[in-house]
Structure formats: structure tokens, C-alpha cells
Chains A and B, each alone.
Chain A
Amino acid sequence: MSDFIGYLLTGLGIGAGYALVASGLVAIYRVTRVVNFAQGAFAVVAAMLTASLLGAGLPHGLAELAAVLTAALAGLLVGAVAIGRPGTTPGTSLIVTLGLAVFAYAVEIVIWGDQPRSFPGLPGVAVVGGARLQAHYLLILGVTVPVFVAMAAFFARTDLGKALSACASNPYAARVVGIDTRRMGLFAFALGGALGGLAGVLTTPVQQVTFDSDVTLIVNGLAAAVLGALTRPVVALAGGLLLGVAQTMIAGYGAGAYQLEVALVLMLTAMIVQAARRGAVPEMAR
């Protein structure tokens, strides 16, 4: 029983990391209709940078904050390249982000090398319901859930959130009511960068990061985001948590090393079900 609770909580912690990657994908997709394949790179850059800054003697908190802000800047840059040119279609932008994700490998290897890195997170072991787990997992959960609640409220309740959503649902109409859709898109990319950075900073203490960790992150994050049709943050959170728990349970009770397969099966199932219900992902914006 205590095994089960341990797997469950660890799974939720891991899933929260996926959900954070998903939240960045959702933020960007909602506004620009671009699936940002460079999303995992934001996490990797933030994680690597945190490791370096901590190594240089910066205190915890400050190092992570600087890394998240840098990831936001990286998001802005990716956005500028992917959607900066007026008239770029979401499909074209998607390919650009894919290219940038590969380009990011080169940058990361030049700066940080190809060896895995990590840094300590919240120290200690927590005991919940008789199960022992790294306390850091609770920190991941404790940050992720409020981030999602804030994001859902932001999009649904605030003027800016509505203006951002308007860009995605009808860019023509958004422009004629005075919304600068490109600026909103860049804002979404910066927000996505920060969320991706947060995912990297939070998950690295429990699973070290290498330059190509973004593949695992993006596959899991995309699987979670696709559950919410790429537009609904709260469903993406549920998807991420479900995925994390499923993977941990399978690894715990069965054979390990099937994590990506679990994510892919979940994603395909979600897409097939959604396609059957109403056409997979909402069509690309006109």
C-alpha cells in the first residue's frame, strides 16, 4: 500500500512537470495556433543555466528566477523568428520551431557540453501515508497547481486574456478591433518560454537534464496538452498528472523504460477520440 502511495505521489510530481511543459504549449497554441516544438528547449536551457548559476555561487531562488526569465527571453526570440514575419501561416511557424529546437542543441552543446547535469532541489524526504518520497516532488506539485489555476483565470477572466484568446479564435476580427495580433503572439511565446523554463528548473533536481532531454519533455508535454485539445489549461494539467502517474505505476509494478511509449499511446488515443468527436485539433486559423 505504501508502495502505491509512493508511486502515486512521485507520479503526480513527474506529471506536474509534464503539465508545465504542456501549459507553455497551450499558452502559445491558444494565441497563435502554432504548436511550438521548441518548448522542450526552454526547459533544457533554464535547467542548464540554473546548474551553472548555482555552480557560480548564486543562491537558490535567485538562480532559478534568472533561469526562468532567460527562458522567457528565449521564448520571445523563438516567437520573433517563428511568427515575426507578417503572413506566416501557423503550419510554417511550426516547422520553424522544429528547426529552432534542433538549432538549440548546437547552442546548448557549445555552452554546456553534452554531459548530463543536475542540481539539488528541496532537500529531504517526506513521509506521506507511510510512503517515503523526495520532498522535492511535493514542491513541484505545490508550484504547478497554482500556476495552472492562475493561467486558467488569466485567460478566462482578464481583458488581456480575452484579447489573447481572440487572436487565436479569429485573427481578422481581432485586428479590426485594434488588437496587435503579432505582439500578442510574441507575448504568448514569452509566457510559454517562462512556463517551459519553470518546468525545467523544477524537474531537473529529480531527473537530470541533457541537451536532448527536450524530446522526452515535448513528447510528454504534447501528450498532456493534446488531451485538452491544446487549448484548455486545466484539462492539460489533468492529462499531465494522469500521464505521470501511469508511467510511474507501469515502471513501479511492471517493466521500466516504457515511459515514452505510454505517452505516445495516450496521445494517440486522445487524438483518435477527439477526431471521432469533432475533428482532432481545431483547424488552423484562417
Chain B
Amino acid sequence: MTAGAALTVSGVSRAFGGVYAVRDVGLSVAPGELRAVIGPNGAGKSTLFALIGGQLAPDAGTVHLDDQRIDRLPAHRRARLGIGVVFQAARVFPGMTALENVMVGAHATTRAGFTAAALRLPAHRREEREIRDRAAECLHRTGIEDWADRPAEELPLGQQRALQLARALCGRPRLLLLDEPASGLRAAERDRLATLIEDLRGSGLTILLVEHDVAFVMRLADRVTVLDLGRTIADGTAAEVRADPRVVTAYLGTGVPA
């Protein structure tokens, strides 16, 4: 596994029709850190996610991956720099098997270009074999190897989510972005996902986890950033954030889930 990258977001704002979805948000994630971003609905979590992943460009502020500024780069360039993205919605490629879906995820790391692929040169064939092996390994890692040869659109929701994760991992990311990966999963699936995320963190990957489920996050994250109405209201360890009165009033309401 490739070493994790540092992510630095500073002073980022993005408005939609004059209303700020994210306003002057900054966060700094160290290599290998598992950072959670939480907040109530409309806090700006998804916007922040899209600003880092490249689905949106900020109106102001910068995003750096290690020392490279990425906030003006299109999504595919960011992917090639090592950002793996798992959307909340199941965005798989229908009409291809699960294995093929994951193989497409290695596209960002292939070296043999258009010509080699079209002519099926030996270098390309060797690479294709490597990618196939790597894809199978990623399916195994996410626990869906039994679905490898099934069309992606036939997989149940939980497995489609796992498939997206496998696809992202196959691109050998240095920063993994997860958007509400636990939503819609059953308790057992959720536990398995938590184990997998811990395992990934253990391998040195930097992970940014955007999540609505506070209990899920508190258990996993090194540090937690809390957003409310587009602004950062707290940033610290799970224990610190849990004790922060602003978080308690703005987000957690009257009590803190264990």
C-alpha cells in the first residue's frame, strides 16, 4: 500500500445562488490520519467532499494534496494524483461485471497508453494481467469476491458500496474520501465496514470520512471536524469534540450518543 498523503484545506468557500454551503472552512489532515467530518443536514459536508474530490471548484480558498495545489484541477486529474472517492450513492458501471468495474478503477495508474491498449502490445497485456490480479485482491479485501463475475447493477446496495470501495482501492489512492459509507447498511455490514476502514488506516492510507452517524465516526476517527451551517465549529479528538459545548448545542442536541 502506498503511503498516505497530507490534505490541507484552507479558507475554502463555495456558494450556491448567494447562499454559502461552505464558508471559510479549513482543515489539515496528516498523512495516515483518519479524519471524520460530521455535521447536521445542510452543514456543508457534501459540498466540502465535492470540493476535495473535484466535483466542484471553490469560490475562494485552496486545497492542497501534500504540496500540490489541486482545487482547480478536474476530478480525473485529482484521481491520478491519488485521491480515491467513494460516493454515497451507488455509482457503479452497469453492463460490466464487478471485477471489470474494479479493473476500470486501476485506469488511473496504468502507464501503457492508448496505442498500447489498442494494439494489445505485450507491455499492455502484462499490465492487464497485473490489474486483473490487483482487482481480484481488492474484491477479496472488501469481502465481495463471490460477486466478481456478476453484473455490477445486480449487486445489493451494501455490495455495490463495497464495490465502489474496491474500485477506489484498485487505483492505489494516497487519500481516500468516503461519503457516508455507513448509511443504509445493516448492523453487521456496518461492523464489517468499520473493521475494513481500521485496517486501511493501519496500512498508512489517509482517510477522510464524511458521516452522519456520530457513533460510527467516534469509534473510528483520530480527529473529528464538526461543521454547522457551512462553518467549522469544532476540531479535535473524539473526546474533545464530544465535550465541546458548541457541538452539543449545534449538532448533538441534548445528549451525546455513546
Interface set of A (CB-CB < 8 Å, partner B): 86, 154, 158-160, 162-163, 165-166, 169-170, 172-181, 187
Contacts and interface: CB of A to CB of B under 8 A. Distances in A.
Of A170, A174, A177, A187, most buried by chain B (CB within 10 Å of CB) is A177
B4 interface: no
Question: B-side binding surface: helix, strand, loop or mixed?
Answer: helix
Interface of B: 53-55, 74-76, 79-80, 83-85, 87, 91-96, 100, 103-105, 107-110, 114, 117-118, 120, 124, 128, 131, 164, 167-168, 171
A51 B120 CA distance: 35
Given A158-B117, A158-B120, A172-B55, A179 B104 contact: yes
Contacts of A162: 96, 100, 103-104
B171 A178 contact: yes
Of B80, B92, B94, B104, most buried by chain A (CB within 10 Å of CB) is B104
B93 A169 contact: yes
A176 B169 CA distance: 12
Nearest to A159: B117
Given A172-B55, A175-B79, A159 B92 contact: no
A173 B79 contact: no
16 contacts: A86-B74, A158-B117, A158-B120, A159-B110, A159-B131, A160-B114, A160-B118, A163-B107, A169-B95, A176-B79, A177-B108, A177-B168, A178-B107, A179-B108, A180-B76, A181-B76
A179 B76 contact: yes
Nearest to B100: A162
B257 to A, nearest CB: 31
A163 B104 CA distance: 6
B117 A178 contact: no
Nearest to B108: A178
Contacts, number: 86
Nearest to B131: A159
Question: A-side binding surface: helix, strand, loop or mixed?
Answer: helix
Of B53, B55, B75, B110, most buried by chain A (CB within 10 Å of CB) is B75
Contact of B93 (A86, A159, A165, A187): A165
- Which 7 pairs from chain A and chain B are nearest by CB? A178-B108, A178-B79, A175-B75, A176-B85, A173-B91, A160-B117, A178-B80
Of A86, A158, A159, most buried by chain B (CB within 10 Å of CB) is A159
B19 to A, nearest CB: 21
Contacts of A172: 55, 87, 91
A165 B96 contact: yes
Given A176-B75, A177-B79, A159 B95 contact: no
A165 B109 CA distance: 18
A99 to B, nearest CB: 27
Nearest to A86: B74
B113 to A, nearest CB: 9
Contacts of A86: 74
Contacts of A165: 93, 95-96
A173 B110 CA distance: 17
Contacts of B54: 175-176
Nearest to B124: A159
Of A160, A165, A180, A181, most buried by chain B (CB within 10 Å of CB) is A160
Given A158-B120, A173-B93, A174-B76, 11 more contacts: A158-B118, A159-B104, A169-B93, A170-B92, A173-B164, A174-B93, A175-B74, A175-B75, A176-B53, A176-B79, A178-B109
